[in-house]
Amino acid sequence: MNVAIRFSSVKKRFGELEALKGVDFEVREGEFFALLGPNGAGKTTLISILGGLTRADSGSVQVLGSDVQSDYRAARRKVGIVPQELTFDPFFTVRETLQFQSGYFGMRRNDAWIDELLAHLGLGNKANANMRSLSGGMKRRVMVAQALVHKPPVIVLDEPTAGVDVELRQTLWAFIQRLNGEGHTIVLTTHYLEEAETLCNRIAMLKQGELVALDDKAALMASHSARTLALKLSPDVLPAALQPFLVMQREDSYHLKLDDCTTLEALLACLREAGVTVRDIEILKPDLESVFLDVMGRKRTA
Ligand SMILES: Nc1ncnc2c1ncn2[C@@H]1O[C@H](COP(=O)(O)OP(=O)(O)OP(=O)(O)O)[C@@H](O)[C@H]1O
């Protein structure tokens, strides 16, 4: 598969702070890719370098083979970035904003695509509204449309759903998934891990300017977090021998760490020997949030 974005040894300092400590990874063409990390991990800095808004101190970034510094114009055409912050000209209407952006890319007759964007993002009846009159969520929809106006093959969304309502989330994800289905590469940063879990097929995690995980979603989930066994017992007492497996107790339910199926057999045998009956049993699969905490926590103690 071809490479959509290549980050090679990207370093960036802000004074004493090393915001990016030599970040190396690739996003492949056609992927729906998540870039995750806690506040301050360096995600937005990396995206700003990708969009040519910030210069890396060293290293390089290429979009579909075009270097974002030495071949800025070509790289810029290949990527659409939905920024985290809302920036707009309050005196333009929504349509003018999108026409102006089309002009920036030398696209004069772009109204059919602009209409399609407006319709898909629920902005059809706002085309002639002034930007300053829109609600925050509506402005964010325009930011998304603005990033897509030149039909970029690579689309980067930096926390696009922070503080937006359920309706926009659903409209936005349906549209972005359609574009991904048509071959566009998508990179998403979000703090809503269930969104990343549902949408993305490969995941990178950054922590303090370093890449700490990069894998297919399924492999990451399988390798980083054990399943949990939730048990309700009669009598309601966990035998002492099982205490080391206890990760959480919620009301009358005991959550035990389950490394694999042989552990399950041993746990059940232990309950039998102690004369404890199982009233209810459930195996809980790991979610991306538990993997994320696991990855971030493990690195902290290393
Ligand atoms: N222009 C700047 N001047 C000084 N420090 C900066 C600047 N931009 C970013 N930083 C710092 O660089 C680090 C990385 O910030 P960045 O915004 O890239 O993180 P992030 O992963 O996007 O975080 P968040 O999830 O909060 O958006 C942070 O410590 C931030 O304070």
- Read off the tokens for 264: 């399950």
**Confidence class of residue 102 from pLDDT cuts 50, 70 and 90?**
very high
**Residue minimizing CA distance to atom 8 of ligand 1:** 45
Domains belonging to the chain, first-starting first, are 3-221 (3.40.50.300), 226-285 (no CATH)
Task: Tell me if 87 sits within 8 A of 53, measured CB to CB.
Answer: no
Pocket test for ligand 1, best of 16, 35, 43 (most atoms within 8 A of CB): 43
One-character DSSP codes across 72-137 = HHHHHHHEEEE-SS----TTSBHHHHHHHHHHHTT--S-HHHHHHHHHHTT-GGGTTSBGGGS-HH
Torsion sign (Cα): 66, 69, 71, 74: positive
Could you report the per-residue pLDDT of 53-84, keeping only the tens digit for each? 999 999 999 999 999 999 999 999 999 999 88
Which pLDDT belongs to residue 41? 95
Could you report the per-residue pLDDT of 136-191, keeping only the tens digit for each? 888 999 999 999 999 999 999 999 887 778 888 888 899 999 999 999 999 999 98
pTM strictly above 0.90 = no
**Confidence class of residue 302 from pLDDT cuts 50, 70 and 90?**
very low
- Paired sense of beta strands 32-36 and 185-189, if any: parallel
Q: With pLDDT > 90 as the criterion, what percentage of the chain qualifies?
A: 66
| Distance in angstroms (rounded) separating the CA atoms of residues 277 and 92 | 69
Cα 293 → chain centroid: 15
Task: Tell me if 131 sits within 8 A of 94, measured CB to CB.
Answer: yes
Residue ranges lining ligand 1, Cβ < 6 Å: 14, 17, 19, 37, 39-45
- Read off the tokens for 29: 């063409």
Does residue 286 surpass a pLDDT of 80? no
Mean pLDDT of 77-95: 90
| Residue 126 CB partners (closer than 8 Å, separation 6+) | 94, 118, 134, 138
